Every structure is written in structure tokens, then in C-alpha cells.
Structure 1
């Protein structure tokens, strides 16, 4: 079955409520391809590797979390950007990208989906006083040590996480997928036993150690694989389309 590209874009916009969320990039249709869609290829980042795989899979739309045209980037269409855009345009493939709208969505969002993978019961936002903060707090069904939880993260995500182990058992967790290490202060204020995100900065170690909590950096890419899959699955079910998630390896 095929549907109009505009219909797909309109439904993604409605479902994610994307126009209401301020972001660092344009959300929605970033590159327009053929007018009819029957096959979606999704992935975390619109890298050349994903685009090449999408061409091989005969995709009509590439659906990603990390697209193009970020604020402050060089606007010239040269080098890597030229090659990526040329691949899309020469094969008449659309690029559909959702950044923060995908992080915060209550059903297919990266943070909610990661919680489901790790058996964390969502309790609420990481910082209820600041609606712009991306991240959640929740509890484990059964308390465990930080090293046991890190082992679970490794098994589920298929990547060895960085662990800063604190003294207490892990009952309450704060998390923000991707590059959310700067939210560790909000996590500490929320009274969590462990804060999990994708990346770490030098000062993150000291914040965790001196405030007596555990910290896990599980990888930007690894923590953000699940939202885009869930969104692709939703759109595929909604319109009876084909959907293929392609995971291009990224150790970061």
C-alpha cells in the first residue's frame, strides 16, 4: 500500500505535536522526495551509511532522530553535506527527522522507550519546575546494586557502559537519553540513586562521586535507538506501510 508523502508528514506532526516544541533544528520534512510512500527506513542518524543502506533497501522515506540543518552549523552545501543531500535527491528519497519531539513523547519517545527496555517504572519528569528539561525519573521493580544495573544495561543495549558506582542500592533512577549529562544536577535534586544518560563530561564524575549517587553513560547512539523504531512502527501500522529499522554501528 502507498500513501501520499504529505499524509505521512501530517500524521507524524500531529502525533508528535512537533510544532509546539522549540528545537535546535527543523523538525519534520527536511528533504522532499517522491510524492508516494510505501516503504520507510528508520535509523538514529541520517549518516551516509544509513542513506546508502536506505537506497539499497529501496526506501521512499528515511526517518531519523538526528537529521540536518542544526543551528549554528555551516550552511554551505559542500563536502559531507553535499554528498548526503545528493544521495537523497538523486534517488528521490525524503528525509523526515524529529529531535526533541521524539525525546519527550509519552508513547514512542526515546526516554519512555528506554525505560521499557530497562524495566524502569516511569514516575514523572526529571525537573517538574522546568518543562524544557528533557528526562524522566522512575523506580526499579526490584532494587539492585549499581554494578548489577550496569550489567543489565550492557546486556540490553549491547554496549559496555561507563559506570561511576555510588554507595547505595539502586531504587530510584533519573535518565535522559543522548547527550544529557548536564542534567545530573536536576537528577541529584530529585533524589535519585542513579542517573543514566548517553554521554559523560569530565565534571560528571565529580558531581556523581561528591553527591553520593551512581552514574552511567551508556552511549548517545545506544540510548536513542528505540524511539525512532517505535515511531516507524507506529506510522507503518497506521498506514499499512513497510518499515525497516537499520542500526548503523556507532560506539559513541
Structure 2
């Protein structure tokens, strides 16, 4: 099985978010793909199946299959553009979240994703305990089984200096993770994302949470084009645009590894 590791949302090796990309003729059994993702031990492993004019795409964390992933989609587009169909400038990926379009524009890959609007929560004592104080605002997005919480803090420094207690974060009921965000100083907004339930303590750069952050900060800041930074140890930069019911998320990518899985 052809295998690549791509650092996404960065133009420097060892930065951004590394994603595994497996190129296959057909999807293997789900449990087999999950085993590969567990063995790879990256926040996401993508599986790409080239079709006639489009690509099927699935994503797995070490613990579960995802319905949407930004950085592994960017990594998959990078692999398609450079190795699967060299020079291809526009790609359509068929996924659990519908058809996702990716366009290569100069040195950026631009992802067109569905916007995910959050609902406001008045208070949540456990999140206040996790943060050490009440956030300015608190929001959540939900699917049938999981909730992702978004805590808005007063300053970028609070996001950067936050020390997570992962065991406490795991106590959030039916949760997929916790996002903390604030208005940025050298960017429009910043964030960090913690998902210990999915086997990912802190995700370095997370495209999917920006499906919610972009509409939020677009409204707060009164602008549709936004520069975002994720303040993990590896760090990453996202070039964002609010498109009403969709969002555009642009990023760079660099290749770390090309090889074969012996399975």
C-alpha cells in the first residue's frame, strides 16, 4: 500500500499537522483501516481511492472514523496533485460530509467545506473547572453522538499559556473535544483543540474546527476573509473565508515521507 506523510497547514517540515495518506484501489475493511491508523499513531490517517474524475476519501484517528477532517484532506490533495495525478489543479473528494472540493492556487490548497454553526451555552461548570475561570462565551456543535465545545477567551495569551488537564477534559459528557479561541494579535483569531476521547490529546492544526470558528469570528470581526493561527507546539496557519453556508480554508503542505506499508 502506497503511503505518504504530509505536514499540513505549514510550509516548513516538522511544523503544522502531520497526516498519513494511504492510496488504495478500494477501501479495505473498516477494522483494517482503523488498525492502520492506530499503528500510524498520527492524529489522522486518510485513505484515498482514485475514481473516474473524483476521489473517495475516508479519515481515521487512532481510535475512530471521522466524518470530516481538514488537515488530512489537505494532505490528500497534496498527494493527489504531486503523485497520483501530477499537476491536477482541482479535486473532488467524496466523503461522509458530502463532496469536498479542493483547488490548488499558486502555492496554496483551498478547501471548500460546509460551515458548522454552533449553539450558545449559558454555563458549564466542568468547562469552567477545566479552564480555571468562566469563558467569555461558550458554544457547542453536535452530531448524533458527539459534542464539540468552543470556549471563547479574553486574549491570545490565555490560549497560548493554557495547560490542559486531559483527564478532566475526558470527563466532558459525549464529547469529541474542547476548542479554546480568542481574538489574535498578529492574526484575526487563534485557537487550540484538545480531543483525548479520539486518542489525540492536542491536535496540532485542525481544519474541521474552523468550519465553526470562521463563521463565528467573521461575524464578530465584521469581515469575511480571515487569517487564523493554531497555537499548538507545532503551530499552523490557515487562510480563511466565510462563504455563508460554506467556508474556504487555505493552507500550505510539505512532504515528510513517501513509502510503502508492508501489509
> Above 0.5 in TM-score?
no
- Normalising by the smaller structure, the TM-score range is under 0.3
TM-score, normalization: structure 1?
Answer: 0.27
- Greater gyration radius: 1
More helix by share: 1
State TM-score, norm by structure 2.
0.26
**Greater fraction strand:** 2
